[in-house]
Chain A
Amino acid sequence: MTINSPPELRENSSKKDQPLLIVDNIEASYGPFRALFGVSFTLNYGSSTALLGPNGAGKSTVARVISGLIRPSKGHIYFKGDEITGKDTWRIERLGVAHVPEGRGVFASLTVEENLKVFLSNAVPKKLIGEKIDEAYSFFPRLKERSFQKAETLSGGEQRMLALSRALVAPPVLLIADELSLGLAPIVSQEVWSSMDEIRKKGTSILVIEQNIDRAKTFADNVVELSRGKVVESSST
């Protein structure tokens, strides 16, 4: 048995034009420093949205608020129609939100294979884990070569591939990808974006955070532009 698209999407194919995620008037701070000032936008089932903006605009903070890493001081977030504002991160993940954070999104002290086991342990039945790991290796053969290597010894591109492989073999309902191509060589970056296309084809909704405006606009259906913690423009590409 293989899972080709998120179960949520297979059950709700009629929902395609309905909002999967509603971010409503969110405010958030890091200690005394306020980062978001009333951010609002929506993301529909099966669609992809790019969050754009310069450094310090609040893009990563929006991602962190959605996945529960930061509790907002004001506003609401709805996922699949239910409010998830302030819920624990692990609960939100189990609802089908996969957040690949900026930088190293893998466990450095674990091997490649152990990382994959961890990513898949809550996403697929136990008996399917071995099969899914093989599937991940078929997408990224380089990871197979390094399966017993600790993740901290992988290159930046390989670490991003490892983080994305989970979404490839057990597609989440919503994938939040934060600055995936940052600091990667163009050829590696191309490989990472190709895998994002694969994930989208499986029906996963994607919120992509990116500084490369052209690349993001090419990829996403909608664009939300942030500046100094506020939404300055929302448009379709």
Chain B
Amino acid sequence: MRQLPIDILSGLPYGCVYGLLALGLVMGYRTSGVLNLALGAQGFLVALFFNAAIDAGWSPLVSFVVWVIVFGPFVGIALDRLLFRHVRGAPVVVQLVSVLGLLIAIPSLASVLAGSTSPSPHALILAPSSVYAHLGGYAISGQAIVTVSITAVVLALLSYLMHFSKLGLYMRLVVESPKLAELSGIEAERVGALAWGLSSLLAGLAGVLIVPILHQVSSFSLTTLVVAATAAAAVGGLTSLPLTMTGALLLGITQQIIAGFAPTSAQWTQGLRPSLPFVILGLALIFHPRLTHLAGRSDPMAGINPPVPSLDVVRRQVRKGRNSRWVVGLGATFAIAVVALNVTDAWAFYLSQGASYACIFLSITLLNGTGGQISLSQASFAGIGGFVTAQLAIHFALPVGAGVFAGALGAGIAGFIVAIPSSRLEGLGTALVTLAFAMLADSLLFPLSWMGNGGTGVILPRPQFGSISFNSSRLLLLFVLVFLAGLSWFVVWIRESRLGLEALAVSSSRRGAKAVGLSDKRVSISIFTLSAAIAGLGGGIFAITDQSISPNDFNSQYSFVFLVPGMGLGSRTVYGALVGGFGYVIVKQLLSTFAPQSFGILVPLVVGVLAISWVLHPEGIIERQHRYMAQLKSFFPKKGLVAASK
């Protein structure tokens, strides 16, 4: 028991850093309704420049003023001008994709600007490891003093601002309805920009304070940290600053207690400490009364915004009917055969990988395009599918082809388990539950020996059907493409089935669907489970193509990466999913083959730009092009129609 007070005190600095980020999240959310998951990336950007400047000979204080006090808020205000103000009041999926685009693009942009060498970690004032006092058995370090003191001052100032100042009141109004606030004479955009500047300042502070504790300037640590901060913000119902800070401190302290008491020998206990924030996030979402109704209050002036473009693609497909589908199907089969038999072995391999990604994008098409749901764990379901396929082949000698379907079943079961709590939530709540699951899969599930082989991954053979072996990449490509064509047909079939129609009804209006006797939960769970199973199929195909699978192939970051092109190209069309899957590997390979190595860093930037472009065109790039073509065609009317009109 002597250890307990020391664990509590040593957990405080971690809790304070979580708290600063969580307060930044809450500030942004309260003002704009956008949960800025890219806040950790903003913190990383500030921390990177702060430490690089000290490396270059600046004094820590000057670097702090320039990068944290001036540059930090500037980043927030600039992002507000470029992005956040345009997504205020937009559907949750639009908001999430835009912040995920930033999450992916900012670290890449930072590397371009600051160079690939990571700067040394520096402290702000006191030497981080020097001991300045003792409390019980706990040696109080310089970093602990600085972190706790700065957090206390920030918390006091923020509490005053939010509860007693005019600006605090205006911030509350702007989140409820920016247009109504403007009708009351409040400059909503300026209030929003100030809140984002403040939020970014807090992120920069957290970034600068955590670097000496982690002993490195790492974008991955800071982006993961923001999920822990989200758990703390969830404890505060995404609104209460004191409860958010309490949640953050308890989180930091509990993590240290677990680290001190849990045995280090077992695999699962090693993953317990990093998993704790995600468990808390999941539990808060399920049981916190305010979070279960996140979509409850809507902007009374929302009807003024232009409507989201209609699903022209869906209508076109219905109009085309069966005959044209046969033509398209036969044409696609011919194209598949030509491509599969004529590409080099290397490209056959890359295209097979593309097909596996296309399966994962198809799972997004079904989930979002038909079901109107959003998931940040599609890569985790793909990982489960891949690992189950591989483990069954290695340990139970199950044929790999059958293993792919067993993997899909495994992913479907995982999807079903996640869908049960998420079906009680809407929009952002669902997204956060899936985010918690993805993080848990990273830290707890994939490192298990019977899943990801202790984190080292699993090697498996190529499939064999009777005497036909798929060791040739071209033959495998042919098989995979035919499989993908079948899966595409299945997704279209689901969309036009009774379940698809019910899902469209539920996604349009849950209340309306309930009023006509539909069970919204049954429909949501069914679509989510099917979507997870399809992602699992994608993971299985990836595993048999690559002949190996490791946790890094499908970590949580990939869920973000998949979601951005999945939505940006057009989540409502099968065509968009196919272009997304194949485009992803083709662009990647072309860049790595023909472009200088440093160009590889631009891929995340492209993903970020894609995310931002989607905010402007939520119907997706593919559908947008269809409309441009339709406009172009309208300049050249068909002769028959002209004759008829005459």
Interface positions of A (Cβ within 8 A of B): 30-31, 33, 64, 67-70, 88-90, 93-94, 98-99, 101, 103-105, 107-110, 114, 117-119, 121-123, 152
Contacts and interface: CB of A to CB of B under 8 A. Distances in A.
Nearest to B300: A104
A122 B169 contact: no
B173 A93 contact: no
A67 B184 contact: no
- Going nearest first, the 10 A-B pairs with the smallest beta carbon separation are A31-B306, A89-B182, A122-B185, A93-B185, A104-B300, A90-B182, A90-B187, A94-B185, A99-B183, A30-B306
A93 B166 contact: no
Interface in B287-314: 297, 300-301, 304, 306-307, 309
A109 B177 CA distance: 10
Interface string B164-193: 001001001100110111111111100000
Contacts, number: 72
A69 B188 contact: no
Interface string B307-334: 1010000000000000000000000000
A101 B180 contact: yes
Contacts of A101: 180, 183, 300-301
Contacts of B180: 101, 105, 107
A208 B301 CA distance: 19
A70 B303 CA distance: 11
A33 B188 CA distance: 26
A45 B166 CA distance: 33
A107 B180 CA distance: 8
Contacts of B179: 69, 89
Given A67-B183, A105-B183, 7 more contacts: A30-B304, A31-B307, A90-B187, A93-B182, A107-B172, A118-B169, A122-B184
A90 B185 contact: yes
* Size category of the binding interface on chain B: 20 to 34
A67 B307 CA distance: 20
Interface string B522-548: 000000000000000000000000000
Contacts of B184: 93, 118-119, 121-122
Contacts of A103: 300
A89 B518 CA distance: 42
Contact of B297 (A67, A94, A108, A119): A108
15 contacts: A69-B301, A88-B187, A90-B182, A90-B185, A93-B182, A93-B184, A94-B185, A101-B301, A103-B300, A108-B176, A109-B176, A117-B169, A121-B184, A122-B184, A122-B186
Nearest to B184: A118
B373 to A, nearest CB: 25
A105 B477 CA distance: 60
A107 B185 contact: no
Contacts of A114: 169
Contacts of A94: 185
Nearest to B175: A109
Contacts of A104: 300
B173 A107 contact: yes
A93 B183 contact: yes
Nearest to A95: B185
A31 B179 CA distance: 17
Nearest to B173: A107
A189 to B, nearest CB: 20
A89 B183 contact: yes
Contacts of B301: 69, 101
A37 to B, nearest CB: 18
A77 B186 CA distance: 21
